Each structure stands twice: as C-alpha cells, then as structure tokens.
Amino acid sequence: MKRFFQLLIGGFLLIALWACDTNRVFEKYHPINETTWSQDSLVVFNIPVTDTVQNHNLYINVRNDINYNYSNLWLFINIEQPGGKAIKDTFEMVLADPTGKWLGHGFGGLKTRQVLYRSNVYFPQSGDYKISIQQGMRDSELKGICDVGLRVEKSH
C-alpha cells in the first residue's frame, strides 16, 4: 500500500512538472495504426505560429516497440509555411546504440526517444505551419513504430 502511494505521488509530480514546461510551444503525438507504418502514410502536424521573433527548437519524438527490427529510423520531413513555400529534408533518428541497447526511455516493451531535429528555427511569418513526416526505410510496411510526435520549444 505504501508503494502505491509513492507511485501516486510520483505521478502527480510528473504531471505538475510537465504542466510547468514554459519552453514548450507545441507537442503532439500521432499513433501509428497497429504499429505498422506504411511508406505512403504521412504523419501531419499543424502548428499555429504567432511569434515570429523568438527562435525555436524542433524535436522528433518516436515511441517504438522493443521488437522493432532496426537501430535507426530514416524520415522524410516536409515543412510548409503559410503561403505554400516548403522545405524538404531527410533525417536519421538513431534509436539504439551499436550494442543494441535502446536509447529511449520507458517501461516494459515500449521506448520513447526524443531527438533534436533542428535548432534555432526562425518562423518568418505567422500562421499555420504544416510539418509532414514519412518513414524512409526500405520496408514498405515498417513494423514496431507505435507513435510519432513533434515538439516545438523556445530556444534560449
């Protein structure tokens, strides 16, 4: 019973810390259906931008099953600003070290990894920015990816 209350208090503290994250501007996860990410399936985030003065850091977040077959994940990323101008990029996300140890954190069979994608990003105009992420691995049906997320935070 004592252990239960310790976990309960710890959970409340984590929620309180998460709620006090003043640098976060946007953070969202999209679940991957049945943990199978098709190569032609896009994960799309719409980010409302009002601050065109402050620079931001962009993070890619991935939750993977420990049965995921690879140590990395190649991503095709498209950033479209209001008005249609777009930037396309390829990004490698390392999920495990050379010995096979998962770099993310988590309990049981699910690991969460957050990696800095771009730092000091300047949004030149206000409006909705659309960031699309597509898996770029050789498998047309990639198994073991559970969620894909994006975090935007103020840079210092």
Encode pLDDT of 127-150 as tens digits: 999 999 999 999 999 999 999 999
Rg (CA), the chain: 17
Amino acid at 63: R
DSSP-derived secondary structure for 97-133: -TTS-B-SB-STTEEEEEEEEEEEE---S-EEEEEEE
Encode pLDDT of 15-69 as tens digits: 544 556 889 999 999 999 999 999 999 999 999 999 999 999 999 999 999 999 9
Beta bridge partners of 80: 86, 130
pLDDT at 153 over 70: yes
pLDDT given at position 9: 55
Query: Which ranges in the chain belong to alpha helices (H)?
Result: 2-19
pLDDT given at position 38: 97
Task: Read off the pLDDT of each residue in 110-133 and give the average, rounded to a whole number.
Answer: 96
pLDDT confidence bin for 1, thresholds 50/70/90? low
pLDDT confidence bin for 156, thresholds 50/70/90? confident
- What does pTM read for this prediction? 0.85
Between CA 12 and CA 134 the distance in angstroms is 35
Strands in 110-121's sheet, in edge-to-edge order, are: 24-31, 145-154, 56-65, 110-121
pLDDT given at position 22: 87
Amino acid at 40: D
pLDDT given at position 20: 63
